[in-house]
Amino acid sequence: MDTLGRELRINDLSGDLTQVSQYRGTVCAVKTVDYVKRRLIGEYRDEATRATAAKTELANSLLPLIQHLNPADFELLVTLVIARSGWQQVSVSGKTMKDIDLELIMPLTGDRGLVQIKSKADSRLIDECFSEMLNWGSDYRLFFAYHTWVGNEPEAKAVAGKTNGSILGGMQLALSVIEAGLTDWLINKVR
């Protein structure tokens, strides 16, 4: 753990440091002492800080583009984000099922999921949608996706905590677009 309480994992450390572990049973010089000190006190390289800020700025610029999508394209975007995270769609989007837009399966684990997609949301709507999805059974992971929150944004996290559901909206959705490699797709859709 660093001094801020964040876990330090080998996979998250620079190769400059982790390559030292290859010299077992021998004495070697650690040339990255400053790096180790910075990581232990919770600081990052300047380049990593700038890249993180650029990613946040990109997400901030993508959110208004997401909000310009028509409902069908927004549903397609959410479907693509979910698919690129490993879930497979097992139902036709919102056509045959009244209460959900997508039924999913995670092939590796067999977990099943349900998704409701709305352009705008508030805590009342999310409560209603999660209640409806719970009627399908307790063995489903529940997801609610939106791009515009109507009301107090912190309410969304409180609602998700009560339902054990996952809420994908606003900045989290914009960051997911980046991580899923859908930035160009989105830009081309709303040019």
Domain spans of the chain? 10-43, 57-190
15, pLDDT greater than 70: no
pLDDT in tens, 107-161: 999 999 999 999 999 888 888 888 888 888 888 999 999 999 887 665 656 665 6
Query: 57-190, what's its fold?
Result: Trna Endonuclease; Chain: A, domain 1 (3.40.1350)
30, pLDDT greater than 70: no
CB of 123 within 8 A of CB of 160?
Answer: no
Structure confidence at residue 123 (pLDDT)? 84
Pick the most confident of 11-25, 55-69, 86-100, 148-162.
Answer: 55-69
Structure confidence at residue 94 (pLDDT)? 56
Q: Looking at per-residue confidence, does 16 or 137 come out higher?
A: 137
> In this prediction, what percent of the chain has a pLDDT beyond 90?
49
pLDDT in tens, 167-176: 898 899 999 9
Rounded to two decimals, the pTM is 0.78
To the nearest whole number, what is the mean pLDDT of the chain?
84
Q: Looking at per-residue confidence, does 42 or 168 come out higher?
A: 168
Mean pLDDT computed over 175-182: 97
DSSP 10-59: GGGS-HHHHGGGGSTTS----S-HHHHHHHHTT---HHHHHHHHHHHHHH
Q: Looking at per-residue confidence, does 28 or 83 come out higher?
A: 83
Pairing outcome for strands 112-117 and 148-149: unpaired
69, pLDDT greater than 70: yes
Q: Helix (H, G, I), strand (E, B), or coil: what is residue 1?
A: coil
CA distance 103 to 109: 15
Structure confidence at residue 48 (pLDDT)? 87
Q: Looking at per-residue confidence, does 48 or 37 come out higher?
A: 48
Identity (one letter) of the amino acid at 116?
Q
Least Cα distance to 106 among 81, 87, 92 occurs for 87
DSSP state of 119: S
